Structure 1
Amino acid sequence: MAQDWQQLNEQVTALLKTAREQVLAKMQSPLTVDEKTNRKDLVTNVDKSNEQFLIEQIHQIDPAARVLGEEGFGDTLQDLDGRVWIVDPIDGTMNFVKQRDNFAMMIGIYQDGVGQLGYIYDVMQDVLYHGGPALGGVFAGERRLKAPANIALADGLIGASGPLVVHDISHMQAIVHASAGMRVYGSAGIELINIMLGKTLGYISYLKPWDIAAGKVLLEALGCQVTTIDGQPLNMLSSNLVLVATEKAQRDILQIEEDDVSL
Protein backbone atom coordinates (compact mmCIF):
# COMPACT_ATOMS: atom_id res chain seq x y z
CA MET A 1 0.00 0.00 0.00
CA ALA A 2 2.86 2.38 0.81
CA GLN A 3 4.10 2.09 -2.77
CA ASP A 4 0.59 2.77 -4.04
CA TRP A 5 0.44 6.04 -2.08
CA GLN A 6 3.89 7.09 -3.30
CA GLN A 7 2.90 6.48 -6.89
CA LEU A 8 -0.34 8.36 -6.35
CA ASN A 9 1.58 11.28 -4.89
CA GLU A 10 3.80 11.45 -7.97
CA GLN A 11 0.74 11.42 -10.23
CA VAL A 12 -1.00 14.19 -8.27
CA THR A 13 2.14 16.31 -8.25
CA ALA A 14 2.46 16.01 -12.03
CA LEU A 15 -1.26 16.77 -12.46
CA LEU A 16 -1.07 19.94 -10.39
CA LYS A 17 2.02 21.13 -12.28
CA THR A 18 0.10 20.75 -15.55
CA ALA A 19 -2.95 22.48 -14.09
CA ARG A 20 -0.76 25.40 -12.97
CA GLU A 21 0.60 25.85 -16.50
CA GLN A 22 -2.94 25.92 -17.87
CA VAL A 23 -4.11 28.44 -15.27
CA LEU A 24 -1.17 30.75 -15.96
CA ALA A 25 -1.87 30.57 -19.69
CA LYS A 26 -5.56 31.42 -19.21
CA MET A 27 -4.64 34.38 -16.99
CA GLN A 28 -3.25 36.05 -20.13
CA SER A 29 -6.78 36.30 -21.55
CA PRO A 30 -9.74 38.28 -20.18
CA LEU A 31 -11.53 36.47 -17.35
CA THR A 32 -15.24 35.74 -17.33
CA VAL A 33 -16.34 36.56 -13.79
CA ASP A 34 -19.73 35.66 -12.30
CA GLU A 35 -21.26 36.06 -8.86
CA LYS A 36 -22.34 32.94 -6.96
CA THR A 37 -24.16 33.98 -3.78
CA ASN A 38 -23.21 37.69 -3.78
CA ARG A 39 -20.80 40.20 -5.31
CA LYS A 40 -17.98 39.04 -3.02
CA ASP A 41 -18.48 35.34 -3.80
CA LEU A 42 -17.04 35.01 -7.28
CA VAL A 43 -16.41 32.25 -9.79
CA THR A 44 -14.50 32.55 -13.05
CA ASN A 45 -14.22 30.54 -16.23
CA VAL A 46 -10.81 29.42 -14.94
CA ASP A 47 -12.29 27.98 -11.71
CA LYS A 48 -14.73 25.96 -13.78
CA SER A 49 -12.38 24.78 -16.50
CA ASN A 50 -9.67 23.89 -14.01
CA GLU A 51 -12.06 21.83 -11.90
CA GLN A 52 -13.31 19.99 -14.98
CA PHE A 53 -9.73 19.23 -15.99
CA LEU A 54 -8.69 18.09 -12.51
CA ILE A 55 -11.71 15.84 -12.03
CA GLU A 56 -11.35 14.30 -15.48
CA GLN A 57 -7.72 13.49 -14.76
CA ILE A 58 -8.44 12.21 -11.25
CA HIS A 59 -10.95 9.72 -12.64
CA GLN A 60 -8.24 8.46 -14.99
CA ILE A 61 -5.69 8.19 -12.18
CA ASP A 62 -8.08 6.63 -9.65
CA PRO A 63 -11.15 5.25 -11.47
CA ALA A 64 -12.83 3.80 -8.37
CA ALA A 65 -12.60 7.03 -6.41
CA ARG A 66 -15.30 9.64 -5.93
CA VAL A 67 -14.58 13.35 -6.25
CA LEU A 68 -16.15 16.32 -4.47
CA GLY A 69 -15.48 19.62 -6.24
CA GLU A 70 -16.35 23.20 -5.31
CA GLU A 71 -17.92 24.09 -8.64
CA GLY A 72 -20.15 21.01 -8.81
CA PHE A 73 -18.48 18.99 -11.55
CA GLY A 74 -17.75 16.06 -9.27
CA ASP A 75 -19.91 13.51 -7.47
CA THR A 76 -22.72 14.04 -4.97
CA LEU A 77 -21.51 12.53 -1.71
CA GLN A 78 -23.44 11.34 1.34
CA ASP A 79 -20.43 9.67 2.99
CA LEU A 80 -16.65 9.34 2.79
CA ASP A 81 -16.53 5.58 2.24
CA GLY A 82 -13.72 4.32 0.03
CA ARG A 83 -11.34 6.82 -1.55
CA VAL A 84 -12.61 10.38 -1.83
CA TRP A 85 -10.81 13.32 -3.43
CA ILE A 86 -11.90 16.83 -2.39
CA VAL A 87 -10.91 19.54 -4.88
CA ASP A 88 -10.73 23.33 -4.82
CA PRO A 89 -9.66 24.44 -8.32
CA ILE A 90 -8.97 28.07 -7.37
CA ASP A 91 -8.96 28.97 -3.69
CA GLY A 92 -9.03 32.72 -3.18
CA THR A 93 -10.97 33.63 -6.31
CA MET A 94 -11.30 37.29 -5.30
CA ASN A 95 -7.51 37.52 -5.01
CA PHE A 96 -7.19 35.70 -8.34
CA VAL A 97 -9.47 38.26 -10.01
CA LYS A 98 -8.27 41.43 -8.29
CA GLN A 99 -4.60 40.71 -7.55
CA ARG A 100 -3.61 37.84 -9.85
CA ASP A 101 -1.78 36.57 -6.76
CA ASN A 102 -2.34 34.93 -3.35
CA PHE A 103 -4.48 32.03 -4.54
CA ALA A 104 -4.02 28.28 -4.44
CA MET A 105 -5.14 24.96 -5.87
CA MET A 106 -6.01 22.35 -3.24
CA ILE A 107 -6.66 18.61 -3.18
CA GLY A 108 -7.33 16.41 -0.16
CA ILE A 109 -7.39 12.61 -0.50
CA TYR A 110 -9.32 10.64 2.13
CA GLN A 111 -9.55 6.88 2.61
CA ASP A 112 -12.68 5.78 4.49
CA GLY A 113 -12.93 9.21 6.10
CA VAL A 114 -9.27 9.46 7.14
CA GLY A 115 -7.10 12.09 5.47
CA GLN A 116 -4.06 10.51 3.83
CA LEU A 117 -2.67 13.07 1.39
CA GLY A 118 -3.06 16.84 1.12
CA TYR A 119 -1.90 19.33 -1.51
CA ILE A 120 -1.91 23.13 -1.36
CA TYR A 121 -0.27 24.70 -4.40
CA ASP A 122 0.73 28.36 -4.10
CA VAL A 123 0.34 28.97 -7.82
CA MET A 124 2.18 32.25 -8.25
CA GLN A 125 5.08 31.30 -5.97
CA ASP A 126 5.23 27.85 -7.62
CA VAL A 127 5.54 26.01 -4.31
CA LEU A 128 3.58 22.81 -3.71
CA TYR A 129 2.92 21.98 -0.07
CA HIS A 130 2.07 18.32 0.14
CA GLY A 131 2.18 15.21 2.29
CA GLY A 132 0.31 13.58 5.12
CA PRO A 133 0.24 10.21 6.88
CA ALA A 134 0.62 8.30 3.62
CA LEU A 135 3.95 10.06 2.93
CA GLY A 136 5.17 10.16 6.52
CA GLY A 137 5.61 13.92 6.57
CA VAL A 138 4.83 17.28 4.99
CA PHE A 139 6.95 18.92 2.31
CA ALA A 140 7.35 22.28 0.60
CA GLY A 141 8.55 21.12 -2.78
CA GLU A 142 11.31 18.66 -1.85
CA ARG A 143 11.96 20.21 1.58
CA ARG A 144 10.53 18.45 4.61
CA LEU A 145 8.78 20.87 6.94
CA LYS A 146 9.27 20.83 10.68
CA ALA A 147 6.26 21.14 12.97
CA PRO A 148 5.57 24.81 13.73
CA ALA A 149 6.41 25.93 17.26
CA ASN A 150 3.62 25.17 19.72
CA ILE A 151 3.09 28.74 20.92
CA ALA A 152 0.27 30.30 22.93
CA LEU A 153 -2.27 32.74 21.50
CA ALA A 154 -0.60 35.75 23.11
CA ASP A 155 2.71 34.98 21.46
CA GLY A 156 1.77 34.90 17.78
CA LEU A 157 -0.28 36.29 14.92
CA ILE A 158 -3.65 34.77 14.04
CA GLY A 159 -5.24 34.55 10.62
CA ALA A 160 -8.93 35.40 10.59
CA SER A 161 -11.89 36.03 8.36
CA GLY A 162 -12.48 39.78 8.33
CA PRO A 163 -16.30 39.59 8.52
CA LEU A 164 -16.12 37.31 11.56
CA VAL A 165 -14.09 39.93 13.38
CA VAL A 166 -16.16 42.91 12.20
CA HIS A 167 -19.38 41.25 13.37
CA ASP A 168 -17.71 39.69 16.44
CA ILE A 169 -18.90 36.17 15.68
CA SER A 170 -17.92 33.63 18.36
CA HIS A 171 -15.93 36.23 20.33
CA MET A 172 -13.56 36.88 17.47
CA GLN A 173 -12.69 40.37 18.67
CA ALA A 174 -11.61 39.00 22.06
CA ILE A 175 -9.58 36.26 20.35
CA VAL A 176 -7.79 38.76 18.11
CA HIS A 177 -7.23 41.10 21.06
CA ALA A 178 -5.64 38.26 23.04
CA SER A 179 -3.25 37.44 20.18
CA ALA A 180 -0.21 39.43 19.06
CA GLY A 181 -2.21 40.63 16.04
CA MET A 182 -4.45 39.62 13.14
CA ARG A 183 -3.60 38.88 9.53
CA VAL A 184 -6.08 38.47 6.64
CA TYR A 185 -4.85 36.85 3.42
CA GLY A 186 -8.15 36.24 1.62
CA SER A 187 -7.44 32.60 0.79
CA ALA A 188 -7.79 29.61 3.10
CA GLY A 189 -4.92 27.91 1.29
CA ILE A 190 -2.55 30.84 1.79
CA GLU A 191 -3.65 31.14 5.42
CA LEU A 192 -2.90 27.46 6.02
CA ILE A 193 0.51 27.75 4.36
CA ASN A 194 1.38 30.52 6.79
CA ILE A 195 0.55 28.23 9.73
CA MET A 196 2.67 25.44 8.26
CA LEU A 197 5.59 27.86 7.96
CA GLY A 198 5.13 29.15 11.51
CA LYS A 199 4.30 32.68 10.37
CA THR A 200 0.90 32.56 12.07
CA LEU A 201 -0.32 30.30 14.88
CA GLY A 202 -3.84 29.72 13.63
CA TYR A 203 -6.75 30.56 11.39
CA ILE A 204 -10.48 30.93 12.02
CA SER A 205 -13.11 31.11 9.28
CA TYR A 206 -16.30 29.59 7.92
CA LEU A 207 -14.97 26.88 5.62
CA LYS A 208 -16.52 24.37 3.25
CA PRO A 209 -15.06 20.90 2.66
CA TRP A 210 -12.88 21.98 -0.29
CA ASP A 211 -11.51 24.91 1.76
CA ILE A 212 -10.12 22.71 4.54
CA ALA A 213 -9.79 19.13 3.24
CA ALA A 214 -6.17 19.46 2.11
CA GLY A 215 -5.12 21.68 5.00
CA LYS A 216 -6.60 19.36 7.60
CA VAL A 217 -4.39 16.52 6.38
CA LEU A 218 -1.26 18.69 6.29
CA LEU A 219 -1.73 20.62 9.53
CA GLU A 220 -2.68 17.61 11.60
CA ALA A 221 0.41 15.82 10.27
CA LEU A 222 2.42 18.78 11.62
CA GLY A 223 0.85 18.53 15.08
CA CYS A 224 -1.72 21.33 14.81
CA GLN A 225 -5.36 21.04 15.83
CA VAL A 226 -8.16 21.28 13.24
CA THR A 227 -11.64 21.42 14.80
CA THR A 228 -14.79 23.47 14.96
CA ILE A 229 -14.59 26.72 16.94
CA ASP A 230 -15.81 24.84 20.02
CA GLY A 231 -13.29 22.02 19.68
CA GLN A 232 -15.48 19.40 18.03
CA PRO A 233 -14.45 17.16 15.10
CA LEU A 234 -15.18 18.53 11.64
CA ASN A 235 -17.92 17.14 9.45
CA MET A 236 -16.01 16.93 6.18
CA LEU A 237 -19.19 17.03 4.09
CA SER A 238 -20.61 20.28 5.47
CA SER A 239 -19.68 23.89 6.23
CA ASN A 240 -18.07 24.57 9.59
CA LEU A 241 -16.77 27.49 11.61
CA VAL A 242 -13.24 26.07 11.66
CA LEU A 243 -10.42 26.63 14.11
CA VAL A 244 -6.92 25.64 13.02
CA ALA A 245 -4.26 26.31 15.63
CA THR A 246 -1.29 25.10 17.62
CA GLU A 247 -2.28 23.04 20.65
CA LYS A 248 -1.56 25.88 23.08
CA ALA A 249 -3.37 28.49 21.02
CA GLN A 250 -6.35 26.18 20.59
CA ARG A 251 -6.60 25.80 24.38
CA ASP A 252 -6.47 29.57 24.80
CA ILE A 253 -9.19 30.11 22.18
CA LEU A 254 -11.45 27.39 23.57
CA GLN A 255 -11.11 29.03 27.00
CA ILE A 256 -12.28 32.35 25.56
CA GLU A 257 -15.26 30.55 24.00
CA GLU A 258 -16.07 28.74 27.24
CA ASP A 259 -15.75 31.86 29.38
CA ASP A 260 -17.99 33.78 26.93
CA VAL A 261 -15.39 36.54 26.82
CA SER A 262 -16.18 39.77 24.99
CA LEU A 263 -14.43 43.13 24.74
Structure 2
Amino acid sequence: MLEEIDLRVQKLMRMVNQQTLRHLDGSSYRVATKSSYNDLVTTIDRQNEQAIDRQLREIDPGCRILSEEGFGDQQINDLAGHVWIVDPLDGTLNFVKQHNHFGIMLALYVDGYPTLAYIMDAVNQDLYHGGNGWGVFKNDQRLAGPINANLHDSLIAISSSLVLDDVANLAQVARQASGLRMYGSAAMEMIGVLNGELGAYVSHLKPWDLAAGRVLAEELGLTVKSIDDNGISVLSSNLVLVATKRAGQDILDRTD
Protein backbone atom coordinates (compact mmCIF):
# COMPACT_ATOMS: atom_id res chain seq x y z
CA MET A 1 0.00 0.00 0.00
CA LEU A 2 2.79 2.47 0.85
CA GLU A 3 4.40 1.92 -2.54
CA GLU A 4 1.23 2.99 -4.34
CA ILE A 5 0.74 5.96 -1.99
CA ASP A 6 4.32 7.01 -2.60
CA LEU A 7 4.02 7.00 -6.40
CA ARG A 8 0.75 8.92 -6.35
CA VAL A 9 2.08 11.53 -3.94
CA GLN A 10 5.15 12.08 -6.12
CA LYS A 11 2.82 12.84 -9.02
CA LEU A 12 0.77 15.13 -6.78
CA MET A 13 3.86 17.08 -5.76
CA ARG A 14 4.88 17.65 -9.36
CA MET A 15 1.38 18.68 -10.37
CA VAL A 16 1.05 21.22 -7.55
CA ASN A 17 4.52 22.56 -8.27
CA GLN A 18 3.66 23.15 -11.93
CA GLN A 19 0.56 25.05 -10.85
CA THR A 20 2.67 27.14 -8.47
CA LEU A 21 5.26 28.06 -11.08
CA ARG A 22 2.57 29.50 -13.35
CA HIS A 23 2.13 32.33 -10.84
CA LEU A 24 5.76 33.45 -10.56
CA ASP A 25 5.15 36.73 -12.39
CA GLY A 26 3.22 37.95 -9.33
CA SER A 27 0.21 39.20 -11.24
CA SER A 28 -2.21 36.41 -10.41
CA TYR A 29 -2.25 36.14 -6.61
CA ARG A 30 -2.96 38.23 -3.56
CA VAL A 31 -0.71 38.67 -0.51
CA ALA A 32 -1.69 39.13 3.12
CA THR A 33 0.25 39.29 6.39
CA LYS A 34 -0.08 36.81 9.24
CA SER A 35 1.82 37.45 12.48
CA SER A 36 4.02 40.30 11.13
CA TYR A 37 4.96 42.27 8.01
CA ASN A 38 7.46 39.60 6.95
CA ASP A 39 5.21 36.61 7.72
CA LEU A 40 3.20 36.41 4.53
CA VAL A 41 0.50 34.21 3.10
CA THR A 42 -0.71 34.26 -0.49
CA THR A 43 -3.71 32.89 -2.31
CA ILE A 44 -1.27 30.36 -3.81
CA ASP A 45 -0.46 28.97 -0.33
CA ARG A 46 -4.17 28.44 0.21
CA GLN A 47 -4.91 27.05 -3.25
CA ASN A 48 -1.99 24.62 -2.98
CA GLU A 49 -3.10 23.44 0.44
CA GLN A 50 -6.69 22.85 -0.62
CA ALA A 51 -5.53 20.88 -3.68
CA ILE A 52 -3.04 18.81 -1.69
CA ASP A 53 -5.46 18.04 1.16
CA ARG A 54 -8.21 17.05 -1.26
CA GLN A 55 -5.93 14.70 -3.19
CA LEU A 56 -4.41 13.16 -0.04
CA ARG A 57 -7.87 12.13 1.13
CA GLU A 58 -8.34 10.29 -2.17
CA ILE A 59 -4.87 8.74 -2.16
CA ASP A 60 -4.95 7.70 1.51
CA PRO A 61 -8.58 7.33 2.66
CA GLY A 62 -9.05 7.65 6.39
CA CYS A 63 -5.90 9.71 6.89
CA ARG A 64 -5.77 12.84 9.00
CA ILE A 65 -4.12 16.03 7.78
CA LEU A 66 -2.28 18.77 9.67
CA SER A 67 -1.69 21.64 7.25
CA GLU A 68 -0.29 25.12 7.78
CA GLU A 69 -3.16 27.24 6.51
CA GLY A 70 -5.85 25.32 8.40
CA PHE A 71 -7.66 23.43 5.63
CA GLY A 72 -6.84 20.04 7.16
CA ASP A 73 -8.32 18.49 10.27
CA GLN A 74 -8.98 21.07 12.95
CA GLN A 75 -7.80 19.08 15.97
CA ILE A 76 -4.84 16.70 15.79
CA ASN A 77 -3.46 15.91 19.25
CA ASP A 78 -1.81 12.56 18.48
CA LEU A 79 -0.19 10.68 15.61
CA ALA A 80 -2.33 7.55 15.65
CA GLY A 81 -2.94 6.06 12.22
CA HIS A 82 -1.88 7.87 9.05
CA VAL A 83 -1.17 11.57 9.64
CA TRP A 84 -0.01 13.82 6.81
CA ILE A 85 1.73 17.11 7.62
CA VAL A 86 1.56 19.67 4.82
CA ASP A 87 3.48 22.85 4.02
CA PRO A 88 1.88 24.05 0.78
CA LEU A 89 4.39 26.82 0.08
CA ASP A 90 7.47 27.09 2.26
CA GLY A 91 9.41 30.32 1.92
CA THR A 92 6.43 32.47 0.97
CA LEU A 93 8.43 35.68 1.50
CA ASN A 94 11.01 34.40 -1.00
CA PHE A 95 8.23 33.43 -3.41
CA VAL A 96 6.83 36.96 -3.30
CA LYS A 97 10.09 38.96 -3.17
CA GLN A 98 12.57 36.81 -5.11
CA HIS A 99 10.47 34.38 -7.16
CA ASN A 100 13.03 31.79 -6.05
CA HIS A 101 14.24 29.76 -3.05
CA PHE A 102 10.91 28.26 -1.96
CA GLY A 103 9.44 24.78 -1.84
CA ILE A 104 6.55 22.47 -1.03
CA MET A 105 6.75 19.83 1.73
CA LEU A 106 4.69 16.80 2.73
CA ALA A 107 5.32 14.06 5.27
CA LEU A 108 3.49 10.93 6.37
CA TYR A 109 3.72 9.68 9.95
CA VAL A 110 2.22 6.24 10.63
CA ASP A 111 1.34 5.66 14.29
CA GLY A 112 3.91 8.28 15.16
CA TYR A 113 6.70 6.80 13.04
CA PRO A 114 8.29 9.13 10.46
CA THR A 115 7.53 7.15 7.32
CA LEU A 116 7.53 9.04 4.00
CA ALA A 117 8.50 12.58 3.00
CA TYR A 118 8.65 14.86 0.00
CA ILE A 119 10.44 18.20 -0.43
CA MET A 120 10.10 19.99 -3.75
CA ASP A 121 12.75 22.50 -4.79
CA ALA A 122 10.13 24.44 -6.69
CA VAL A 123 12.07 26.52 -9.21
CA ASN A 124 14.60 23.80 -10.03
CA GLN A 125 11.74 21.25 -10.11
CA ASP A 126 13.77 18.71 -8.12
CA LEU A 127 11.82 16.41 -5.84
CA TYR A 128 13.61 14.99 -2.78
CA HIS A 129 11.70 12.01 -1.44
CA GLY A 130 12.04 8.77 0.48
CA GLY A 131 11.79 7.13 3.88
CA ASN A 132 10.47 3.78 5.09
CA GLY A 133 13.94 2.23 4.74
CA TRP A 134 13.93 2.85 0.99
CA GLY A 135 16.57 5.57 1.04
CA VAL A 136 16.38 9.18 -0.09
CA PHE A 137 16.15 10.23 -3.73
CA LYS A 138 16.59 13.38 -5.74
CA ASN A 139 14.12 12.69 -8.50
CA ASP A 140 15.20 9.17 -9.57
CA GLN A 141 18.77 9.34 -8.23
CA ARG A 142 19.46 7.85 -4.81
CA LEU A 143 21.46 10.09 -2.50
CA ALA A 144 24.50 8.56 -0.82
CA GLY A 145 24.30 11.01 2.06
CA PRO A 146 26.65 13.90 2.87
CA ILE A 147 30.22 13.62 4.09
CA ASN A 148 30.34 13.61 7.90
CA ALA A 149 32.04 17.00 8.15
CA ASN A 150 32.66 18.82 11.42
CA LEU A 151 31.49 22.36 12.20
CA HIS A 152 34.78 24.04 11.27
CA ASP A 153 34.68 22.51 7.78
CA SER A 154 30.98 23.19 7.15
CA LEU A 155 28.79 25.92 5.82
CA ILE A 156 25.80 26.15 8.12
CA ALA A 157 22.35 27.76 8.00
CA ILE A 158 20.87 29.44 11.07
CA SER A 159 17.73 31.54 11.12
CA SER A 160 18.66 35.21 11.24
CA SER A 161 16.78 36.01 14.46
CA LEU A 162 18.64 33.27 16.33
CA VAL A 163 22.01 34.73 15.32
CA LEU A 164 21.05 38.36 15.85
CA ASP A 165 19.69 37.63 19.33
CA ASP A 166 22.46 35.09 20.05
CA VAL A 167 19.97 32.46 21.17
CA ALA A 168 21.68 29.40 22.72
CA ASN A 169 25.12 30.83 21.88
CA LEU A 170 24.39 30.43 18.15
CA ALA A 171 26.29 33.59 17.19
CA GLN A 172 29.45 31.89 18.47
CA VAL A 173 28.50 28.69 16.62
CA ALA A 174 28.22 30.70 13.41
CA ARG A 175 31.71 32.14 13.92
CA GLN A 176 33.15 28.64 14.35
CA ALA A 177 31.78 27.40 11.00
CA SER A 178 33.33 27.87 7.57
CA GLY A 179 30.50 30.24 6.73
CA LEU A 180 26.92 31.21 7.52
CA ARG A 181 24.05 30.97 5.05
CA MET A 182 20.46 32.18 5.50
CA TYR A 183 18.03 31.01 2.80
CA GLY A 184 14.74 31.86 4.51
CA SER A 185 13.10 28.55 3.66
CA ALA A 186 13.14 25.37 5.72
CA ALA A 187 12.62 23.40 2.51
CA MET A 188 15.73 24.81 0.86
CA GLU A 189 17.84 24.58 4.00
CA MET A 190 16.79 20.98 4.62
CA ILE A 191 17.75 20.18 1.03
CA GLY A 192 21.11 21.81 1.64
CA VAL A 193 21.86 19.43 4.50
CA LEU A 194 20.55 16.40 2.60
CA ASN A 195 22.76 16.98 -0.40
CA GLY A 196 25.84 18.03 1.57
CA GLU A 197 25.91 21.73 0.69
CA LEU A 198 25.33 22.51 4.37
CA GLY A 199 26.75 20.74 7.38
CA ALA A 200 23.95 21.92 9.66
CA TYR A 201 20.70 23.84 9.86
CA VAL A 202 19.28 25.39 13.04
CA SER A 203 15.89 27.06 13.27
CA HIS A 204 12.73 27.34 15.28
CA LEU A 205 10.45 25.02 13.31
CA LYS A 206 6.72 24.46 13.34
CA PRO A 207 5.29 21.01 12.50
CA TRP A 208 5.02 21.66 8.75
CA ASP A 209 8.57 23.09 8.68
CA LEU A 210 10.07 20.06 10.39
CA ALA A 211 8.09 16.96 9.46
CA ALA A 212 9.40 16.19 5.98
CA GLY A 213 13.01 17.16 6.60
CA ARG A 214 13.11 15.02 9.71
CA VAL A 215 12.02 11.91 7.79
CA LEU A 216 14.60 12.35 5.06
CA ALA A 217 17.45 13.42 7.36
CA GLU A 218 16.94 10.46 9.68
CA GLU A 219 16.74 8.15 6.67
CA LEU A 220 20.25 9.33 5.76
CA GLY A 221 21.52 8.85 9.32
CA LEU A 222 21.81 12.56 10.06
CA THR A 223 21.30 14.14 13.48
CA VAL A 224 17.84 15.61 14.12
CA LYS A 225 17.55 16.96 17.67
CA SER A 226 16.11 19.80 19.67
CA ILE A 227 18.82 22.19 20.82
CA ASP A 228 17.82 21.70 24.46
CA ASP A 229 17.79 17.91 23.89
CA ASN A 230 14.30 17.52 25.32
CA GLY A 231 13.12 15.51 22.33
CA ILE A 232 11.14 16.54 19.28
CA SER A 233 7.42 16.51 18.67
CA VAL A 234 6.13 17.15 15.15
CA LEU A 235 2.88 18.37 16.69
CA SER A 236 4.56 21.37 18.33
CA SER A 237 7.20 24.02 17.64
CA ASN A 238 10.82 23.15 18.32
CA LEU A 239 14.28 24.75 18.22
CA VAL A 240 15.77 22.14 15.91
CA LEU A 241 19.21 21.08 14.76
CA VAL A 242 19.60 19.04 11.57
CA ALA A 243 23.21 18.18 10.86
CA THR A 244 25.93 15.69 10.12
CA LYS A 245 26.87 13.69 13.20
CA ARG A 246 30.16 15.56 13.70
CA ALA A 247 28.87 19.06 13.03
CA GLY A 248 25.81 18.33 15.13
CA GLN A 249 27.90 17.29 18.12
CA ASP A 250 30.16 20.33 17.72
CA ILE A 251 27.09 22.58 17.80
CA LEU A 252 25.51 20.84 20.77
CA ASP A 253 28.80 21.15 22.70
CA ARG A 254 28.70 24.92 22.16
CA THR A 255 25.02 25.44 22.98
CA ASP A 256 25.01 23.78 26.41
Q: Do these two structures clear the TM 0.5 threshold for a shared fold by scoring above it?
A: yes
Identity of aligned residues (%): 45
Distance in 1 (CA, whole Å) between partners of 2:2 and 2:168 is 39
Question: 1:1-263, aligned counterparts within 5 Å?
Answer: 4-28=1-25, 29-75=27-73, 76-134=75-133, 136-258=134-256
Shift of 1:30: 3.1
Shift of 1:6: 1.3
Shift of 1:230: 2.2
CA deviations over 1:185-231 (Å, ceiling 9, x no partner): 11000001011111110100110000010000001111111111123
Shift of 1:10: 0.5
Q: 2:110 is aligned with what amino acid?
A: Q
Shift of 1:173: 0.6
Distance in 2 (CA, whole Å) between partners of 1:62 and 1:30 is 31
Structure 1 gaps, min length 5: 259-263
What is the TM-score when the length of structure 1 is the normalising length? 0.94
Distance in 2 (CA, whole Å) between partners of 1:12 and 1:58 is 8
CA deviations over 1:57-83 (Å, ceiling 9, x no partner): 101111110000000000120000100
SS of equivalent residue, structure 2 residue 128:
strand
Distance in 2 (CA, whole Å) between partners of 1:155 and 1:17 is 35
Further displaced range: 33-42 or 231-240: 231-240
SS of equivalent residue, structure 1 residue 154:
coil
Distance in 2 (CA, whole Å) between partners of 1:24 and 1:245 is 30
CA deviations over 1:228-256 (Å, ceiling 9, x no partner): 11233211101111111111111111111
Distance in 1 (CA, whole Å) between partners of 2:150 and 2:22 is 43
Work out whether residues 135 and 142 of structure 2, in 8 Å CA contact, stay in contact via their aligned partners in 1. yes
CA deviations over 1:106-150 (Å, ceiling 9, x no partner): 00100011111110001110100000125x100000000011111
Distance in 2 (CA, whole Å) between partners of 1:78 and 1:247 is 31
What is the TM-score when the length of structure 2 is the normalising length? 0.97
Aligned length: 254
Further displaced range: 87-96 or 150-159: 150-159
RMSD: 1.0
Distance in 2 (CA, whole Å) between partners of 1:172 and 1:257 is 7
Ranges of 4+ aligned residues in structure 1 off by more than 6 Å: none
SS of equivalent residue, structure 2 residue 239:
strand
Shift of 1:24: 1.8
- Determine the structure 2 residue equivalent to 1:261: none
Distance in 2 (CA, whole Å) between partners of 1:70 and 1:146 is 31
SS of equivalent residue, structure 2 residue 152:
helix
Distance in 2 (CA, whole Å) between partners of 1:27 and 1:190 is 17
Distance in 2 (CA, whole Å) between partners of 1:233 and 1:147 is 24
Distance in 1 (CA, whole Å) between partners of 2:188 and 2:155 is 14
